[in-house]
Amino acid sequence: MSRCLLCESETAIQSWAAFFGAKGPLLCENCSAPLKKLTGPFCKICCREMKEAGICPDCAAWEGGIFHSNHSFYQYNDAMKELIACFKYRGDYALADIFAQDIRRMARRLEYDIICPVPLSLSRLAERRFNQSEALIERAGLPQTALLGRRESDKQSKKTRAERINAKQTFYPIGDAAGKTILVIDDIYTTGATMQLVAKALQKAGAISVKSITVARSGS
């Protein structure tokens, strides 16, 4: 018997598939249906959905750093917002499994040297009990190397768009990334401000390029 990770109702699986060891879906149809995959056209850098493919205004403004590209899977709609809240803020670590296959597949397509999680400050880690970035990487079965630390700061979710874009640097290097291309994996890409700060800190560690995989891409 397989149960939905969100509502715990039974999830359907063909009897013959179960005989061959297949596992049931992680979410039932009622919980999975509202989750919408990104379909494009996209910004060529950050994966933001647009009317026409190109480069969005945010990425045009960020031009000049070592951040190369972001790859996301889902729209950050109300259903995804609730799912990530359960995962990140309510401590439901197992929900990382929902995204493991997508993350593995995308990682195989990208060229990189090291996978690096986005660190949490000590107070935020104590509050949440785990780092969502590390959890996503671990459940995808990928190796990870801590290259950054993070100073205390206000929550990103409490900041306005302008405050996010103009946020001060809170990340600092703690490892050696000399000459390396770094893949960063996290839950949400919104304005790109966090990833730009991550890329700048990784550049100080010696990185020459930074790419990211994020579960969801906000439309804002």
User: What was the pLDDT predicted at 61?
Assistant: 87
Q: How many CA atoms lie within 13 A of 197 on its CB side?
A: 20
User: What was the pLDDT predicted at 165?
Assistant: 72
Q: Which residues contact 14 (CB under 8 A, 6 or more apart)?
A: 22
User: What was the pLDDT predicted at 55?
Assistant: 94
Q: Which residues contact 17 (CB under 8 A, 6 or more apart)?
A: none
This model's pTM is above 0.95:
no
Residue 75 CA: distances (Å) to CA of 20, 37, 48, 72, 191: 33, 6, 9, 8, 14
Strands 181-189 and 171-173: unpaired
User: What was the pLDDT predicted at 20?
Assistant: 38
Task: Tell me how many helices (H) and strands (E) the chain has.
Answer: 9, 6
Each domain of the chain, given as residue ranges in start order, spans 31-217
User: What was the pLDDT predicted at 21?
Assistant: 43
Residue 4 CA: distances (Å) to CA of 10, 17, 93, 120: 6, 18, 14, 29
What's the CATH code, domain 31-217?
Answer: 3.40.50
Per-residue pLDDT of the chain (220 residues; tens, 9 = 90+): 678 999 888 876 644 344 434 466 899 999 999 999 999 899 999 999 999 999 999 899 887 899 999 999 999 999 999 999 999 998 899 999 999 999 999 999 999 999 999 999 999 999 999 999 999 999 999 999 999 999 987 666 566 766 777 778 999 999 999 999 999 999 999 989 999 999 999 999 999 999 999 999 997 6
